[in-house]
Amino acid sequence: MSAIILFLAVIAIIAGWWLSQQRLTAKPWLEEGPVGDFPGSDAMTWPAAKIGLGVFLAVASCLFVLFISAYSMRMNVVDWRALPVPRLLWLNTGVLVLSSVALQWSYVAARRDDAEGVMIGLLAGGASAVIFLAGQLLAWQQLNAAGYFVASNPANSFFYLLTAVHGLHLTGGLVALGRTSAKVWRSSKIADVRLSVELCAIYWHFLLLVWLVLLGLLTGWTDDFVNICRQLLS
């Protein structure tokens, strides 16, 4: 459970920093009058959707870190047999990176009011995300064909589970991306959709980051790092 404790420590630091900006030491019973008299603790001025996405990313990270915690506890049991990671995953990773880059492109275009660039970026991002998902399914098929079934070893089970959870998050993102594309299609003013494009890009970067961490875990790259952390903690 050390991974989730570390994660919560990071959340606690962020929350603590934010709370420290909120004048929690104020004596509200003495502070009567309009808000302008007591600066520093107004409501946030970011758009609600952006704060909402931030909170959602914290929840989703928590979910993935908990899976990672379970993974690292379960892998210590003797029956664990790491499975060979299909080469296809590297290609998939490249496609996901492209997807993220395309959405960043779209966001930059939205800031320049370049409607065509926004649409191209969104479509390229969406298409490459679909290719990534298809590639993941293909990787499952390859593993299955090679006899690495979901229940034959906990390492296999975790492989299928983690890739599935990541894929489902990406599928949810595709729904949002589809809605954003439809909005861009209908709307004449890019300013109206700039926020939606930005949020899609942020979510894609987040999922890319999660995928890289999962890939490190599944390929065993991070084993040394995990061991060092474990020694430090014990």
Partner 1 sequence: MVDIPYDRIADIPPAEVPDVELYHPRSWWTRYVFSQDAKVIAVQYALTASAIGLVALVLSWLMRLQLGFPGTFSFIDANQYLQFITMHGMIMVIYLLTALFLGGFGNYLIPLMVGARDMVFPYVNMLSYWVYLLAVLVLASTFFVPGGPTGAGWTLYPPQAILSGTPGQDWGIILMMSSLILFIIGFTMGGLNYVVTVLQARTRGMTLMRLPLTVWGIFTATVMALLAFPALFVASVMLLLDRLLGTSFFMPSLVEMGTLSKYGGGSPLLFQHLFWFFGHPEVYIVALPAFGIVSDLISTHARKNIFGYRMMVWAIVAIGALSFIVWAHHMYVSGMFPQFGYFFATTTLIIAIPTAIKVYNWVLTLWRGDIHLRVPMLFALGFIITFVNGGLTGLFLGNVVVDVPLSDTMFVVAHFHMVMGVAPIMVVLGAIYHWYPKVTGRMLNDALGKFHFWVTFLGAYLIFFPMHYLGLLGVPRRYFELGDAAFIPPSAHSLNAFISVVALTVGFSQMVFLFNLAWSLFKGEASGGNPWRATTLEWQTPETPPGHGNWGKELPVVYRWAYDYSVPGAEQDFIPQNQPPAATRVVQGAAS
Residues that bind partner 1 (CB under 8 A): 1, 4-5, 8, 11-12, 15, 19, 22-29, 31-38, 41-46, 48-49, 51-52, 55-56, 58-59, 62-63, 66-67, 70, 73-74, 77-80, 150-151, 154, 157, 161, 165
HSE-CB for 115 with a 13 A CA cutoff:
11
Residue 128: CB minimum distance to partner 1, A: 27
Residue among 49 and 137 whose Cβ is closer to partner 1: 49
Residue among 41 and 171 whose Cβ is closer to partner 1: 41
| d(C-alpha 41, C-alpha 24), whole Å | 9
| d(C-alpha 90, C-alpha 95), whole Å | 9
- Residue 2 burial (10 A CB sphere; 0-12, 13-18, 19+): middle
Residue among 78 and 232 whose Cβ is closer to partner 1: 78
Residue 61: CB minimum distance to partner 1, A: 9
Residue 18: CB minimum distance to partner 1, A: 9
Residue among 127 and 160 whose Cβ is closer to partner 1: 160
**Residues 105, 110, 113, 114, CA torsion sign:** positive
DSSP letter (8 states) at residue 153: -
**41, 22 in Cβ contact below 8 A?**
yes
Residue among 49 and 228 whose Cβ is closer to partner 1: 49
Nearest to 217 by CA among 127, 104, 82, 109: 82
State whether residue 40 is helix, strand or coil: coil
